[in-house]
Amino acid sequence: MLGGGGGQSLGCTQQSNSALNPATSPGNKIAAVLFFGDPRHAANQAYNTGTGSPRNGGTDPGAHTSYFNVFSQEAGAWVKTKV
């Protein structure tokens, strides 16, 4: 939604859509965005938290539903710096 989307990920095909324009509303009203467990992860980005290694729990839902509990305090503190 924010940067556009579409394509194939995790066996699903999503229809392409345009990104929000950062120069006009609503795109210019967004101060911060959080992604928990991004399936399109790009390594070594400044916004990454955690190691992403060695990808334990790939098929365990519990391994992927705890991100918010683990990182919400740190994420909230970061959002406060953006608004």
Residue 2 pLDDT grade (very low, low, confident, very high; cuts 50, 70, 90): confident
Check residues 75 and 5 and name the one with the higher pLDDT. 75
Region 37-62: what's the mean pLDDT?
70
Q: What is the pLDDT of residues 18-30, one digit of tens each?
A: 888 989 999 999 9
pLDDT of residue 48: 72
Model's pTM, two decimal places? 0.60
Indicate the average pLDDT of the chain: 80
State the Cα–Cα distance between residues 6 and 54, nearest whole angstrom: 27
Question: For residue 75, what are the CA distances in angstroms to 31, 48, 49, 63?
Answer: 13, 11, 10, 18
Under 8 Å between Cβ of 45 and 26: no
